[in-house]
Chain A
Amino acid sequence: LAKTTQPISMDSYEGQEVNITCSHNNIATNDYITWYQQFPSQGPRFIIQGYKTKVTNEVASLFIPADRKSSTLSLPRVSLSDTAVYYCLVGEGFYTGGFKTIFGAGTRLFVKA
């Protein structure tokens, strides 16, 4: 299993861009990188997923370098409602027979006014 390392917490101000970096040195060839967001008393919610290079959707961008040993979630112009815990996931590859999705401790983002 590829373990992930993220900062425990980050602070930001409304309107700023926030970048959260995740390290996953042992990522396997078939692994995808996925980010989830969790608000208090709710289940995690999917934000974005990628395999390599850059992925962008209406909520965030995901940057993955060529060696895929890290990834960066970018949240443009955060608001108070983006205060949440963000999880970086790297699971076992589909073709290796593993289906475990392991969550780390996540990064607590606190957005201030």
Chain B
Amino acid sequence: NAGVTQTPKFQVLKTGQSMTLQCAQDMNHEYMSWYRQDPGMGLRLIHYSVGAGITDQGEVPNGYNVSRSTTEDFPLRLLSAAPSQTSVYFCASSVGTGVSGELFFGEGSRLTVL
């Protein structure tokens, strides 16, 4: 049982480059979300989705795009990377709202923007 799978685990980008962080879950969860975590800080919500075709912004959405074409996948796109986006990114999923239900997290993707 894979749970939530994130790829890549590590990535180094140059300023201005674009990339996509992949997130897939095999639990048929409706709710998926992306967080970023800076050193010594808590997690901040970037974007979330309550089902295929539905996405919304979280606390810190600027510089990131998402889409949800299938229940399983929720990719996070950085269109023009900036050093301020250096962080660890976590994807999470839940069967329900994510509040009255357990969030399952991936192992994280560590991104460095030079």
| Complex CA distance for A58 and B47, rounded to whole angstroms | 33
Contacts of A89 in B (CB 8 A): 99
Q: How many residues of B contact A (CB 8 A)?
A: 28
The reply to whether A36 and B103 contact each other, CB–CB distance below 8 Å, is yes
| Given A43-B107, A46-B103, A99-B50; A91-B98 close (CB under 8 Å) | yes
| Complex CA distance for A29 and B4, rounded to whole angstroms | 31
Contacts of A42 in B (CB 8 A): 105, 107-108
Classify chain A: how many residues form its interface, as a range.
20 to 34
The reply to whether A44 and B43 contact each other, CB–CB distance below 8 Å, is yes
The reply to whether B99 and A101 contact each other, CB–CB distance below 8 Å, is yes
The reply to whether A43 and B100 contact each other, CB–CB distance below 8 Å, is no
A30 and chain B: residue at smallest CB distance? B100
The reply to whether A41 and B99 contact each other, CB–CB distance below 8 Å, is no
Contacts of A63 in B (CB 8 A): none
A100 at the interface (CB under 8 A from B): yes
Q: Which of A43, A49, A106 contacts B90 (CB 8 A)?
A: A43
The chain A residues found within 8 Å of chain B, CB to CB, are 31-32, 34, 36, 41-46, 49, 85, 87, 89-94, 99-106
The chain B residues found within 8 Å of chain A, CB to CB, are 4, 31, 33, 35, 41-45, 48, 50, 56, 58-59, 90, 92, 96-100, 102-108
6 pairs, CB–CB < 8 Å, chain A vs chain B: A45-B105, A49-B102, A101-B33, A101-B99, A101-B103, A105-B41
